[in-house]
Amino acid sequence: MNVEDGDTIAVWFSCGAASAVAAKLTLNKFGGRCDVRVVNSPVAEEDADNRRFLLDVQHWLGIKIETATNPKYPQASCVEVWEDRKFMSSPYGAPCTQILKKQARYAWQDVNKPQWHVLGFTADEQNRFDRFTLTETENALPVLIDAKMSKRDCFAALKAADIKLPAIYDAGYPNANCIGCVKASSPTYWNHVRQQHPEVFDQRAKQSRRLGSKLVRVKNQRIYLDELNPSARGAPLKSMDIECGLFCEERTAPI
Protein backbone atom coordinates (compact mmCIF):
# COMPACT_ATOMS: atom_id res chain seq x y z
CA MET A 1 0.00 0.00 0.00
CA ASN A 2 1.54 3.26 -1.10
CA VAL A 3 0.25 5.84 1.35
CA GLU A 4 1.52 9.25 0.32
CA ASP A 5 2.10 12.35 2.40
CA GLY A 6 -1.04 14.45 2.65
CA ASP A 7 -3.43 11.57 1.97
CA THR A 8 -6.71 11.51 3.90
CA ILE A 9 -7.32 8.31 5.88
CA ALA A 10 -10.82 7.66 7.23
CA VAL A 11 -10.94 5.39 10.29
CA TRP A 12 -14.45 4.05 10.81
CA PHE A 13 -14.98 3.89 14.57
CA SER A 14 -17.89 1.70 15.68
CA CYS A 15 -17.59 2.20 19.45
CA GLY A 16 -15.99 -1.24 19.61
CA ALA A 17 -12.59 -2.17 21.00
CA ALA A 18 -11.02 -3.16 17.68
CA SER A 19 -11.89 0.02 15.80
CA ALA A 20 -10.67 2.12 18.75
CA VAL A 21 -7.25 0.47 18.68
CA ALA A 22 -7.19 0.61 14.86
CA ALA A 23 -7.65 4.38 15.13
CA LYS A 24 -4.76 4.65 17.61
CA LEU A 25 -2.41 2.58 15.43
CA THR A 26 -3.34 4.59 12.35
CA LEU A 27 -2.59 7.87 14.11
CA ASN A 28 0.69 6.51 15.45
CA LYS A 29 1.80 5.34 12.01
CA PHE A 30 0.41 8.01 9.69
CA GLY A 31 -0.67 10.94 11.85
CA GLY A 32 2.50 12.93 11.26
CA ARG A 33 2.17 12.96 7.49
CA CYS A 34 -1.48 12.24 6.64
CA ASP A 35 -4.86 13.71 7.50
CA VAL A 36 -6.29 10.99 9.73
CA ARG A 37 -10.04 11.40 10.30
CA VAL A 38 -11.87 9.19 12.80
CA VAL A 39 -15.57 8.93 12.00
CA ASN A 40 -18.49 7.35 13.83
CA SER A 41 -22.01 6.62 12.56
CA PRO A 42 -24.15 6.58 15.71
CA VAL A 43 -27.30 4.49 16.02
CA ALA A 44 -30.05 5.30 18.51
CA GLU A 45 -30.45 1.68 19.62
CA GLU A 46 -26.87 1.34 20.86
CA ASP A 47 -26.25 1.24 24.59
CA ALA A 48 -26.00 4.72 26.11
CA ASP A 49 -22.53 3.93 27.52
CA ASN A 50 -21.16 3.79 23.98
CA ARG A 51 -21.14 7.58 24.06
CA ARG A 52 -18.99 7.60 27.21
CA PHE A 53 -16.60 5.17 25.52
CA LEU A 54 -16.44 7.38 22.42
CA LEU A 55 -15.45 10.39 24.52
CA ASP A 56 -12.81 8.39 26.39
CA VAL A 57 -11.35 7.14 23.10
CA GLN A 58 -11.47 10.65 21.66
CA HIS A 59 -9.39 11.90 24.60
CA TRP A 60 -6.94 8.99 24.13
CA LEU A 61 -6.55 9.70 20.42
CA GLY A 62 -6.16 13.42 20.89
CA ILE A 63 -8.42 14.30 17.95
CA LYS A 64 -12.13 14.90 17.61
CA ILE A 65 -14.20 11.94 16.45
CA GLU A 66 -16.49 13.10 13.67
CA THR A 67 -20.07 12.01 13.06
CA ALA A 68 -21.52 10.69 9.79
CA THR A 69 -25.27 10.20 9.50
CA ASN A 70 -27.81 9.66 6.76
CA PRO A 71 -29.63 13.00 6.34
CA LYS A 72 -32.87 11.15 5.54
CA TYR A 73 -32.83 9.62 9.04
CA PRO A 74 -31.52 12.33 11.40
CA GLN A 75 -32.56 10.33 14.49
CA ALA A 76 -30.41 7.41 13.26
CA SER A 77 -32.99 4.96 14.57
CA CYS A 78 -33.10 1.34 13.45
CA VAL A 79 -36.69 1.07 14.66
CA GLU A 80 -37.67 3.93 12.38
CA VAL A 81 -35.85 2.36 9.41
CA TRP A 82 -37.52 -1.03 9.94
CA GLU A 83 -40.94 0.57 10.17
CA ASP A 84 -40.32 2.67 7.09
CA ARG A 85 -38.94 -0.21 5.01
CA LYS A 86 -41.50 -2.74 6.32
CA PHE A 87 -38.91 -5.41 7.10
CA MET A 88 -36.17 -5.96 9.67
CA SER A 89 -33.72 -8.48 8.22
CA SER A 90 -33.11 -10.72 5.23
CA PRO A 91 -30.52 -13.22 3.96
CA TYR A 92 -28.74 -10.23 2.40
CA GLY A 93 -28.49 -8.23 5.60
CA ALA A 94 -30.59 -5.65 7.39
CA PRO A 95 -31.85 -2.28 6.11
CA CYS A 96 -30.54 -0.49 9.20
CA THR A 97 -26.92 -1.24 8.27
CA GLN A 98 -27.42 -0.22 4.64
CA ILE A 99 -29.17 3.03 5.54
CA LEU A 100 -27.60 4.12 8.82
CA LYS A 101 -24.05 2.84 8.27
CA LYS A 102 -23.25 2.40 4.58
CA GLN A 103 -25.24 5.33 3.20
CA ALA A 104 -23.92 7.55 6.00
CA ARG A 105 -20.37 6.53 5.02
CA TYR A 106 -21.02 7.14 1.34
CA ALA A 107 -22.38 10.62 2.06
CA TRP A 108 -19.34 11.48 4.19
CA GLN A 109 -16.78 10.19 1.71
CA ASP A 110 -18.48 11.94 -1.21
CA VAL A 111 -17.72 15.22 0.55
CA ASN A 112 -14.36 14.41 2.14
CA LYS A 113 -12.93 12.04 -0.50
CA PRO A 114 -10.50 9.96 1.58
CA GLN A 115 -7.76 8.08 -0.22
CA TRP A 116 -7.79 5.27 2.37
CA HIS A 117 -10.14 3.52 4.81
CA VAL A 118 -9.37 1.73 8.08
CA LEU A 119 -11.76 -0.63 9.86
CA GLY A 120 -11.40 -2.87 12.89
CA PHE A 121 -10.46 -6.09 11.09
CA THR A 122 -8.36 -8.08 13.56
CA ALA A 123 -5.54 -10.55 12.91
CA ASP A 124 -7.92 -13.52 12.64
CA GLU A 125 -10.10 -11.73 10.09
CA GLN A 126 -7.87 -11.73 7.02
CA ASN A 127 -10.62 -13.42 4.99
CA ARG A 128 -13.13 -10.75 5.91
CA PHE A 129 -10.65 -8.02 5.07
CA ASP A 130 -9.97 -9.65 1.70
CA ARG A 131 -13.69 -9.86 1.02
CA PHE A 132 -14.14 -6.22 1.97
CA THR A 133 -11.44 -5.08 -0.44
CA LEU A 134 -12.99 -7.24 -3.16
CA THR A 135 -16.63 -6.21 -2.72
CA GLU A 136 -16.51 -2.74 -1.15
CA THR A 137 -13.30 -0.85 -1.82
CA GLU A 138 -9.70 -1.71 -2.61
CA ASN A 139 -8.20 1.21 -0.71
CA ALA A 140 -8.33 -0.23 2.81
CA LEU A 141 -5.42 -0.48 5.22
CA PRO A 142 -5.20 -3.63 7.39
CA VAL A 143 -3.59 -1.93 10.38
CA LEU A 144 -4.64 -4.48 13.03
CA ILE A 145 -3.81 -7.41 10.76
CA ASP A 146 -0.36 -5.97 10.03
CA ALA A 147 0.15 -5.51 13.78
CA LYS A 148 -1.03 -9.11 14.38
CA MET A 149 -3.55 -7.87 16.93
CA SER A 150 -6.53 -10.00 17.95
CA LYS A 151 -9.70 -8.74 19.58
CA ARG A 152 -8.29 -9.85 22.93
CA ASP A 153 -5.16 -7.81 22.22
CA CYS A 154 -7.37 -4.79 21.57
CA PHE A 155 -9.09 -5.29 24.92
CA ALA A 156 -5.67 -5.43 26.59
CA ALA A 157 -4.51 -2.25 24.83
CA LEU A 158 -7.53 -0.33 26.07
CA LYS A 159 -7.07 -1.68 29.59
CA ALA A 160 -3.45 -0.53 29.51
CA ALA A 161 -4.69 2.92 28.48
CA ASP A 162 -7.12 2.85 31.43
CA ILE A 163 -10.14 3.00 29.12
CA LYS A 164 -13.13 1.04 30.33
CA LEU A 165 -14.82 -1.01 27.64
CA PRO A 166 -18.42 -0.16 26.73
CA ALA A 167 -20.88 -1.45 29.33
CA ILE A 168 -22.51 -3.67 26.72
CA TYR A 169 -19.51 -6.03 26.96
CA ASP A 170 -20.02 -6.31 30.73
CA ALA A 171 -23.62 -7.29 30.04
CA GLY A 172 -22.33 -10.38 28.23
CA TYR A 173 -22.74 -9.25 24.62
CA PRO A 174 -19.95 -10.14 22.15
CA ASN A 175 -19.68 -6.65 20.66
CA ALA A 176 -20.85 -3.05 21.03
CA ASN A 177 -23.62 -3.23 18.43
CA CYS A 178 -27.22 -2.23 19.00
CA ILE A 179 -29.09 -4.07 21.71
CA GLY A 180 -31.40 -6.55 20.03
CA CYS A 181 -29.51 -6.71 16.74
CA VAL A 182 -31.81 -8.13 14.06
CA LYS A 183 -28.90 -9.72 12.21
CA ALA A 184 -28.67 -12.25 15.04
CA SER A 185 -30.71 -15.42 14.64
CA SER A 186 -29.36 -17.50 17.53
CA PRO A 187 -31.79 -18.43 20.33
CA THR A 188 -28.83 -18.00 22.70
CA TYR A 189 -28.51 -14.35 21.70
CA TRP A 190 -32.21 -13.56 21.79
CA ASN A 191 -32.77 -15.21 25.16
CA HIS A 192 -29.80 -13.23 26.45
CA VAL A 193 -31.54 -10.06 25.26
CA ARG A 194 -34.74 -11.26 26.92
CA GLN A 195 -32.87 -11.67 30.21
CA GLN A 196 -30.67 -8.56 30.11
CA HIS A 197 -32.99 -6.12 28.31
CA PRO A 198 -36.56 -7.46 28.48
CA GLU A 199 -38.03 -4.18 27.26
CA VAL A 200 -35.94 -4.38 24.08
CA PHE A 201 -36.89 -8.02 23.54
CA ASP A 202 -40.57 -7.11 23.89
CA GLN A 203 -40.21 -4.23 21.44
CA ARG A 204 -38.44 -6.38 18.87
CA ALA A 205 -40.99 -9.19 19.31
CA LYS A 206 -43.94 -6.87 18.71
CA GLN A 207 -42.42 -5.05 15.75
CA SER A 208 -41.16 -8.23 14.10
CA ARG A 209 -44.56 -9.88 14.45
CA ARG A 210 -46.26 -6.82 12.97
CA LEU A 211 -43.82 -6.69 10.04
CA GLY A 212 -43.75 -10.45 9.49
CA SER A 213 -40.03 -10.81 10.31
CA LYS A 214 -39.04 -14.16 11.82
CA LEU A 215 -35.79 -13.19 13.51
CA VAL A 216 -34.75 -16.34 15.35
CA ARG A 217 -33.75 -19.74 13.98
CA VAL A 218 -34.32 -22.93 15.98
CA LYS A 219 -33.39 -26.30 14.48
CA ASN A 220 -32.97 -24.62 11.10
CA GLN A 221 -36.49 -23.17 11.14
CA ARG A 222 -37.25 -19.48 11.41
CA ILE A 223 -39.75 -18.49 14.11
CA TYR A 224 -41.05 -15.27 15.63
CA LEU A 225 -39.46 -14.01 18.82
CA ASP A 226 -42.71 -14.40 20.71
CA GLU A 227 -42.56 -18.12 19.85
CA LEU A 228 -39.08 -18.60 21.32
CA ASN A 229 -38.86 -20.89 24.33
CA PRO A 230 -37.04 -18.98 27.12
CA SER A 231 -34.86 -22.03 27.76
CA ALA A 232 -33.81 -22.54 24.13
CA ARG A 233 -30.08 -22.39 23.47
CA GLY A 234 -27.86 -22.57 20.42
CA ALA A 235 -24.23 -21.61 19.95
CA PRO A 236 -22.48 -20.07 22.97
CA LEU A 237 -22.82 -16.31 22.93
CA LYS A 238 -19.07 -15.68 23.02
CA SER A 239 -18.58 -17.67 19.80
CA MET A 240 -20.86 -15.32 17.90
CA ASP A 241 -19.69 -12.29 15.99
CA ILE A 242 -22.55 -10.17 14.70
CA GLU A 243 -21.09 -7.52 12.47
CA CYS A 244 -22.68 -4.11 12.16
CA GLY A 245 -20.63 -1.86 9.99
CA LEU A 246 -19.70 -1.95 6.37
CA PHE A 247 -20.59 -5.63 6.37
CA CYS A 248 -23.95 -6.78 7.62
CA GLU A 249 -23.89 -10.38 8.67
CA GLU A 250 -24.00 -12.92 11.46
CA ARG A 251 -21.24 -15.47 11.78
CA THR A 252 -21.80 -18.16 14.36
CA ALA A 253 -21.46 -21.88 14.90
CA PRO A 254 -24.31 -24.13 13.71
CA ILE A 255 -27.37 -24.07 15.95
Average pLDDT estimate for 15-26: 96
CA distance 197 to 44: 15
Question: Using one digit for the tens of pLDDT, what is the confidence trace for 45-91?
Answer: 999 999 999 999 999 999 999 999 999 999 999 999 999 999 999 87
Residue (of 27, 40, 42) closest to 161 by Cα position: 27
CA distance 90 to 94: 6
Burial of 110 (0-12, 13-18, 19+ CB in 10 A): exposed
In sign, the C-alpha dihedral spanning 26, 31, 35, 39 is positive
**Higher model confidence: residue 242 or residue 86?**
86
Q: Residue 169: what residue type?
A: Y
Q: Residue 192's Cα: distance from chain center in Å? A: 18
CA distance 241 to 230: 22
Domains present along the chain, CATH in parentheses: 8-170 (3.40.50.620), 187-250 (no CATH)
pLDDT grade for 93, boundaries at 50, 70 and 90: confident
Q: Please list the residues that pair with 8 across neighbouring strands.
A: 35
Question: Using one digit for the tens of pLDDT, what is the confidence trace for 136-154?
Answer: 889 999 999 999 999 999 9
CA distance 9 to 37: 6
* Predicted local confidence at residue 35, as pLDDT: 98
pLDDT above 50 (res 254): no
Distance from the first to the final alpha carbon of the chain: 40
Q: Please state the pTM of the whole predicted model.
A: 0.88
pLDDT above 80 (res 115): yes
